[in-house]
Structure 1
């Protein structure tokens, strides 16, 4: 396969992996707002992090990084 085509394909996959990682991260963070428990007390919010979604986002970032490294390697190889 032509190395230029492969480099472009890997670069596109890297961008797609980063976009998908951002979506996964967004899915993994939920913020809930709660009313005051007692009169005069302030309202508060809580944040729940889902390990599965955050882990998927991390794995996608690693894959994107490896793809970028491979694109650079292919570009420098004669």
Structure 2
């Protein structure tokens, strides 16, 4: 089981190629507002996260995840199942 810090490190690494603005990543960094991602970028990123952690993030769960910290928490929860 990965710690939250390990999950955050992997999430930040996955965000890297999509972080065109060079935004500093924190728990409260938002995907739509801070990173300015469109829906296609979000879908590509979600696919990368699912592949990395071998999980499935449902559309309902995606709708609730607005920032990096929430994503890390969701990944941790899904990995427990």
- Calculate the TM-score normalised by the size of structure 2: 0.32
Which protein is richer in strand relative to its size? Answer: 1
- Calculate the TM-score normalised by the size of structure 1: 0.32
Which protein is richer in helix relative to its size? Answer: 1
